[in-house]
Each structure stands twice: as structure tokens, then as C-alpha cells.
Structure 1
Amino acid sequence: MTITRFAPSPTGHIHVGNLRTALFNHLIARKHGGTFILRLDDTDQERSKQEYVDGIKRDLEWLGLTWDREERQSLRLERYRAEAEALKASGRLYEVFETPTELDLKRKKQLNMGKPPVYDRTGLNLSDADKERLRAEGRQGYWRFRLDLERIEWNDGILGDISIDAASVSDPVLIRADGQVLYTFASSVDDTDMGVTHIVRGSDHVTNTATQIQIIQALGGTPPSFAHHSLLTGAKGEELSKRIGALSLKDLREAGVAPEALISLMARLGSGQPVELSSLDELAEAFDLSQFGASPTKFDAEDLWPLTRERNQALPLDAVRDRIVALGVPADKVERFWRVASQNITVLDDLGPWWEIFSKGAEPDIAPEDADFIAQAMTLLPPPPYDEATWSEFTAKVKEATGRKGKGLFMPLRKALTGQAHGPDMSDVMPLLEVVKARG
């Protein structure tokens, strides 16, 4: 059975980079009828907050990325301790005492000697007496995983065959001096215990994957299939990290981006497949990791708006009826209003300004050279209410009285009545107009 997971840290809001990871894992699970786990990496009790847990769930639910199981790492601390003790007993987890300053000096010395800046395993040679002496000096020990110094290889679902020499990688720290279990270890225990079969994550985790493969093997588990998607850049290839706060799902949702637009773009971005407005089921059926490349992928938030417009303009009336009624649109005009306004919106919040125009009148947009023409034309327009024939009857009278025709006739009148150069057909607009400010 296919089991995937999304493991965010509840220390902030999900952004588009996180979403890509969540979406890929979700689509794999759904395509194969498997299980998608939401696993909250909340072992950092100082930074993890319930408001972010709630926000993560709200964002995923908004997108339709429902999960089959929820796990919290903070509830599994005893499990991590038990596995840590087993690794200590087997000699795979060993205690070290170097300070960050000492480690930095070691790295600089190695680089100056032309050697890779990896941990020199001094901790492996410490006797019990050495450790007691270091503790007496006020140092606190922390724990590293002893890698087997061999090549770590796997067939990556996106990057292809990967081979990393463990000798070029430092033994990873798995437990901090304060006892906090770090993600590399907690995740390995979880993936093993939960039977995770497929993991998709960013290409910045490739080295982590190499070490986690050995950790999972040391735990007696079978490493899952890994795939590493490319990292996102801005539209011009710039780093996205500096703008990532503005690209949180929360902010995109509040800006009016349609959830279908976001998942449709993120599921195809960088794959070479055309980006089309699609449902999650359609995206899952067609999802194929082999379509994606390793090169950085450009993300432009502006690409979300045409898809959002397409989705919103296709919504049935029942999906927006409550929103329209809340604007104050009379019951007998709701259907007409949606038919008229729907094809002239991008986000649903655009409906409000259209009802403002129809119900309270628009500020006329009258060019100086058209002032006399509009003043004359407005004497030929009766007061509301209007019907479907009003526009043609009105413009025919104005044409006869002024001699104007074509664009010179219709455009100034549209701008005078709606304040807009473009919009719905005026024959449909007139029955909705309750106030016309241009009449004076």
C-alpha cells in the first residue's frame, strides 16, 4: 500500500514552497488509493504554536488536501528516546561536546588544507573519564549518528540515480544538548514506524536523505522511495526565499486566489505539461514524477489570476448565491446580476463594486469633449426602472438627436452610465441600474 506524508513544522504559515511538497505527496497517495498522513513536526515546543497548527489545517482543507491520519511528533517523544537508547547501545549514536566555535575552527582548518569540512569524529575517541571531565567544565553533551563510510545510493524519482559518499558528509546531530530530538531522527523513526513508502521533498534535502537512509536501516526499517523536486524561484529567476512571507497560502487565499487555480498551477509547474484548470482527481490521475526536472522552477504569482478568473466565471449560481444576497441584491435580480457580473470578475470580491455601480450609481467618466453630448443625451433617458429594451431605444434616440454613431456614440454613454470603459453588455446592465448619477 502507498503511504505518503506531509510533515510541516507549526512555526509559521505554509507558503508555496511547502505546498508543492504537500501537493505532490497527496497526489501520489490519491493516484494509488493510498494513505496521506499529516504529521506535525512540533518537537520545538518554544516555536511551535497551536495557531499555526490550525492555520496549516485550514490551508490544506481550503485546497482540498484532506489527510487520512494525523500524527504529532510531540506525542511520540518516548518512542524517540527508546530508539535513541537502542542506537547508543549499538554504537551508532555517540556523544560529543564541541562548541559551535570549535566546530567552526575545525571546518576552516580542513578547508585550508583542501579537505572536506566534515566532523572529525573526535567524540568517538572520548573515554568515560574524558566525558566526565568535559561535563565538569560545564559542557553539555549532544549526540551524533555514526555513518557507515560507504556510498549511499538510491534511484530518485525525479533526479535519477544518486550516489553520495558518506565520508564527505558529517555525522549528523540527532539529539541536542537540551535533549530535543531533531527532525532528521524523529522523521526517520516516524517513517519507519508508519510504513511510509514514498517521500517527495525539495532538492535541498538530498544530503539529509542520504543520512536518513542509513538511519532508517539502523532502525531496522526499509527506506522509502525518495524524490526531490526542484526549488522555486521568482519569475525572473531570483531567490524566492526573501519574498516567501508574501506568498503564504493564507495571504494568497485572502487576496482571492481560487484554490483550484493554485493546485492546478503547482501540480504542473516545472513538468512540461500544460497548466490547465483541473480538479484534484484529474491532477492525481495524470500525475507523473518523471515529468519533472531538476532545474530551478520559476513561479510567478501573476499566473494564478487567469486561472482564478476562469474558475470563478464558471461557478454556478448556487455557489455564489449567499454572497450575492449578502451584497443586498434583491431576490428578483440575483440571477440576472450573476449572469451579467460573472463574466467581468477575476476574484469574487469584484462582485461588490459591480453592485455598487448598479445600486448606487457610478461616478460618470466624461471626457471634456463629450460633456455637451452627454448632457443632451441624458435628457433623453427616462428615470429607472429599465428593461432589456431600454438601451437600444435610448441609443437610437440619442443617435437621431445628435448624429453620433458607432464607438463615438456607445463608448461615451457607457462611461457616463457605468464609469467603466469595458464591461457587460449594456442591454443587460440597464435592467440592473437603480441609480444613474449622470442624469443629474
Structure 2
Amino acid sequence: MSIITRFAPSPTGRLHVGNARTALFCALFAKANGGQFMLRLDDTDAERSTEAFAQGIVDDLTWLGLPYDLTAKQSDRFEAYDAAFNKLKEMGLVYACYETPDELDLKRKRQRARGKPPVYDRAALELSDEEKTKLEAEGRSPHWRFKLSGNKVSWQDLVRGDQLVDTSSLSDPVLVRADGTYLYTLPSVVDDLDFNITHIIRGEDHVTNSAAQIELIAALAGEGGDIPVFAHHPLLVMADGSALSKRLGSLSLESLREDGIDPMSINSLIARLGTPDPVEAHTEMAPIVAGFGLTRLGRAPARFDPAELHRLNVKLLQSLPYEKVADKLLSLGVNCDDKQTGTLFWETVKGNIDKLEDAVALWQIIQGPVESLIDSEDREYLDTAMDCLPVEPWDETSWSQWTTELKKSSGRKGKELFMPLRKALTGQAHGPEMQNLLLLIGPTHVKNRLKG
């Protein structure tokens, strides 16, 4: 059996770290088992779904490095859903209901007031044809529910283990709204069957839905039909245990990308959250795939700390060789003349940046112009420094030669020796090692900056 997983977001917004984690799990499981990963856009909500959000999801997955093998849009498949719905009608497994949203809400409130669970009472099944005709004459259009068996549904969940749901404790799910549009349940099941989805990996907030979907799959697939394997993973929460939903704007992949977060930092972190395995910064997907396993996930909510992501991003960034960042640096305007210069620049500055974009300011220090910070009491000292400059061409020993000679000539040492040079050459009191900066800035700029 060829494994096929699916990630099925609704294009009503951009991806965030929570649903990106589900996408990553689906992709990793397929990759680890030689299977296929499908992107399915659940865009049946015409009012809220947009092409811009759909393209945004594709862009986000591409940026994360999660290529999909198959793709489909539910808005292209209404004929398949209509056929499935008609089949269920012929089987007597769906029934028309005429309650308004307000009437259903009132029923639920009354049930709760009596200490009962808010389960639909199937009152619509008691309606006569005459009563249905009268309701429709009043202008009411029916919504349609799938009739659950009332039996207990069990499955072996790859994360949660043995699961048992008594469907008599559930409301019959609405498949079709009064306006004729489909809700999530039927299109999802039809797609899972038609595309031969073998494993459904998603958040644990779908556990109860799975019981109804299993019965719906069995009804449509018939005897001998294959039920997909389910895996419901714990949801992400913030570090303090609060809901992730309160921070979705700042935790969207789009926002994180704009904030300079590397996609592999995200993958490295969210693949390990909720497991006993240590979080390590990986620059390639292979070790993440090799270390992935749904059985490694615990049952407690996984805590996501943006500060941890930023620390990991710094660690990953500092581990990258120049070749891995050269193109991105060039796109940011860091135009090194050759690989040797680029390598020297990157090795010099990477310990002083939190995100790649920070390298631009350091490149500006090298290229200039720079406003030298020269204190009046250091003017004579910098003139002496000019006289002590080492013979050109400069190499990695030039800084040491210069400061050694300057120490002898000026009598200064420590901070009094080095700080005026840094401030004059870089315009800053802190920064990367001066030994390499001296080579990158070069003799012409050094002399001009010493003059102020």
C-alpha cells in the first residue's frame, strides 16, 4: 500500500506555526515512508475563501521546503460531492431539518439548563410530509444531516492509541446548509476516498469528528472499503499555556518570514515540540525526516515559545557557510566582489547578527559612508595611528602589527588603545572583530576615516 497523506487548509487566511506543524507532520510521515504528500484546499466557503489566500498557502509551503506531490481544490469537485450526497439520500442516511439557527441555539440552551449535553434531538425525523410542505411554504429551506448509527466507533490512533467514541452522544452532523452549500464533513470524506488517502494526520480538536467521518466513509465506501489511519496530535499552545489563537497574526509564516526567521529554524523547532527529543538547528530536512515519528509525540499540549524560535534561528544562521547565504545576501544589497571577500565578510559578521537582514548594516560599515566617532582628546592619537599603519598589502596579521606599533608609540593600552580606532573606523563602539574588519574596510577607507 502506497502511503498518501494530506494537508487540507481552508484558504481563508495565511498559515501560522500551528497549522504549519500539521503540514510538516504530514509531509514528514509521507517522506519517511516513501509515500506522497497532498495539498488539498478546502475552499467550499465561497464567502471567505480567496485566491490570494490560496496562493499564500502555496507560497508558505514552498518557503518551508514542503513540496507536495498532489493537489486539489474542493471548489472544482462539487459534482463528486453531489453524487455522494445523492447516494446517501438513496440509502436513507441523510434527512432534512428545518430549524433555524436561533431555534437550534435555543434548544441547546434548554438542554444545558437541564444538565444535558447539547445533542440534536432528531425532531426533524418526526415531521410528516404535510408538515415539511408547510415549512417550505413558509420559505424555509432544509439543511441536511447525516444519521449516525448510535453505535460505538473505535480506531487505533497513531498518537493517542485506542480511541472509542459513542456516536449516540453526538449530534448528527450537518452535511449541507440551507442555502445548498456543503460544510466540511462530506467533501472531506469524499476527497479522502477519491484520492486514496491512507493516513489522516491532524490536530486533536478533530478527534470527535473522526467518529462521524468513519461512519460516513463506511457508508460511501461500502463493505470492504478501507478506513484511513488516523493520527491526532496535541495542539500548540504558547509558552505560558495560553491559546495560540491569540497570537496568530505575529505567528503567521508570512510575519515570521518578514521578521527574518529562516524556514529551517521553524521546521527544526516544531518537528520536535511535544517530543522528548532535543531541539537542534538543522539546515537540511534529511535529519528531521530521519528523527521523525508520530509515536514520539506526547499527549500534553506542545508549548511554543517565540523566544526559543529566535534563539534557534540565530544558532542556525551562525552555522551556515557563506555559500548558503550568498544569494540572499546579494538580494539584500550585500555585493561582495568575490567568494574570498564574501567568505571573510560572513565569517566576520555572523556572530553579531540575529537575522540575515542585520548583515546589511554591517556591510554599510565596510562600504561607507560612515560617520566616524572621534573624540577631541583622541585627535592626536589618531594622527599617530595614521603614521603607524602597516605596510600594504594588508593581511590577517596587519591589525596586530598596527596596534602593537601604536601601543609603543602612544603608550596607550587596553580600551584606550582599541576603542578610538573602532569608533573612528566603524562609527560604533561595538561590533565584529577588528582584525577582519580592517581587511574588509581596506586602506583607502581606513585612512579617510582616521582623518575624520
SS in 2 for 1:268: coil
Match of 1:237 among 238, 241, 260: 241
Counterpart code for 2:213: Q
Match of 1:222 among 226, 247, 251: 226
SS in 1 for 2:326: helix
SS in 2 for 1:381: helix
Measure how far apart 1:32 and its partner are.
Answer: 0.5
Matches within 5 A, 1:147-186: 147-186=148-187
Q: Deviations over 1:113-144 (max 9, x none)?
A: 22211000011112222111101111110100
Between the two proteins, the alignment pairs up a number of residues equal to 436
Q: Does 1:37 align with 2:38?
A: yes
Measure how far apart 1:320 and its partner are.
Answer: 3.3
SS in 2 for 1:290: helix
Q: Does 1:327 align with 2:334?
A: yes
Match of 1:338 among 346, 359, 369: 346
Q: Does 1:254 align with 2:277?
A: no
| 1:374 to 1:235, Cα distance in 2 relative to 1, 3 A | farther
Measure how far apart 1:343 and its partner are.
Answer: 3.6
Kindly indicate whether the alpha-carbon contact (under 8 Å) linking 2:237 and 2:243 is maintained by their aligned counterparts in 1. yes
Q: Does 1:292 align with 2:297?
A: yes
Match of 1:403 among 411, 417, 428: 411
Range with bigger deviation, 30-39 or 403-412: 403-412
Q: Deviations over 1:151-175 (max 9, x none)?
A: 1222222222222221211111111
Matches within 5 A, 1:95-106: 95-106=96-107
Q: Does 1:378 align with 2:386?
A: no
| 1:365 to 1:166, Cα distance in 2 relative to 1, 3 A | farther
Counterpart code for 2:431: G
Kindly indicate whether the alpha-carbon contact (under 8 Å) linking 2:93 and 2:146 is maintained by their aligned counterparts in 1. yes
Measure how far apart 1:407 and its partner are.
Answer: 4.2
SS in 2 for 1:247: coil
Measure how far apart 1:416 and its partner are.
Answer: 4.2
TM-score (norm 2): 0.90
Kindly indicate whether the alpha-carbon contact (under 8 Å) linking 1:151 and 1:163 is maintained by their aligned counterparts in 2. yes
Kindly indicate whether the alpha-carbon contact (under 8 Å) linking 2:9 and 2:42 is maintained by their aligned counterparts in 1. yes
Measure how far apart 1:365 and its partner are.
Answer: 5.6
Distance 2:301 2:351 in 1: 36
Range with bigger deviation, 407-416 or 351-360: 407-416
Counterpart code for 1:234: M
| 1:111 to 1:324, Cα distance in 2 relative to 1, 3 A | closer
| 1:335 to 1:290, Cα distance in 2 relative to 1, 3 A | closer
Residue 116 (structure 1) aligns with: 117
Measure how far apart 1:342 and its partner are.
Answer: 3.2
SS in 2 for 1:433: helix
Residue 301 (structure 1) aligns with: 306
Kindly indicate whether the alpha-carbon contact (under 8 Å) linking 2:238 and 2:303 is maintained by their aligned counterparts in 1. yes
RMSD: 2.2
| 1:323 to 1:107, Cα distance in 2 relative to 1, 3 A | closer
Range with bigger deviation, 403-412 or 195-204: 403-412
Range with bigger deviation, 310-319 or 43-52: 310-319
Kindly indicate whether the alpha-carbon contact (under 8 Å) linking 1:374 and 1:413 is maintained by their aligned counterparts in 2. no
Counterpart code for 1:261: S
Residue 357 (structure 2) aligns with: 349
Distance 1:438 1:149 in 2: 86
Kindly indicate whether the alpha-carbon contact (under 8 Å) linking 2:384 and 2:409 is maintained by their aligned counterparts in 1. no
Distance 2:63 2:428 in 1: 33
Distance 2:393 2:183 in 1: 69
Matches within 5 A, 1:171-210: 171-210=172-211
In structure 2, stretches of 5+ residues that fail to align are none
| 1:382 to 1:324, Cα distance in 2 relative to 1, 3 A | farther
Kindly indicate whether the alpha-carbon contact (under 8 Å) linking 1:119 and 1:171 is maintained by their aligned counterparts in 2. yes
**Identity level (%):** 48
Measure how far apart 1:322 and its partner are.
Answer: 4.0
TM-score (norm 1): 0.93
Distance 1:358 1:374 in 2: 22
Range with bigger deviation, 111-120 or 15-24: 111-120
| 1:429 to 1:190, Cα distance in 2 relative to 1, 3 A | same
Counterpart code for 2:19: N
Kindly indicate whether the alpha-carbon contact (under 8 Å) linking 1:156 and 1:227 is maintained by their aligned counterparts in 2. yes
Distance 2:346 2:294 in 1: 40
Kindly indicate whether the alpha-carbon contact (under 8 Å) linking 1:386 and 1:430 is maintained by their aligned counterparts in 2. no
Counterpart code for 1:146: K
Distance 1:150 1:365 in 2: 79
| 1:180 to 1:426, Cα distance in 2 relative to 1, 3 A | same
SS in 2 for 1:380: helix
Kindly indicate whether the alpha-carbon contact (under 8 Å) linking 1:329 and 1:355 is maintained by their aligned counterparts in 2. no
Kindly indicate whether the alpha-carbon contact (under 8 Å) linking 1:374 and 1:416 is maintained by their aligned counterparts in 2. no
Kindly indicate whether the alpha-carbon contact (under 8 Å) linking 2:37 and 2:68 is maintained by their aligned counterparts in 1. yes
Kindly indicate whether the alpha-carbon contact (under 8 Å) linking 1:386 and 1:431 is maintained by their aligned counterparts in 2. no
Measure how far apart 1:386 and its partner are.
Answer: 7.3
Measure how far apart 1:211 and its partner are.
Answer: 1.2
Range with bigger deviation, 429-438 or 29-38: 429-438
Measure how far apart 1:99 and its partner are.
Answer: 0.8
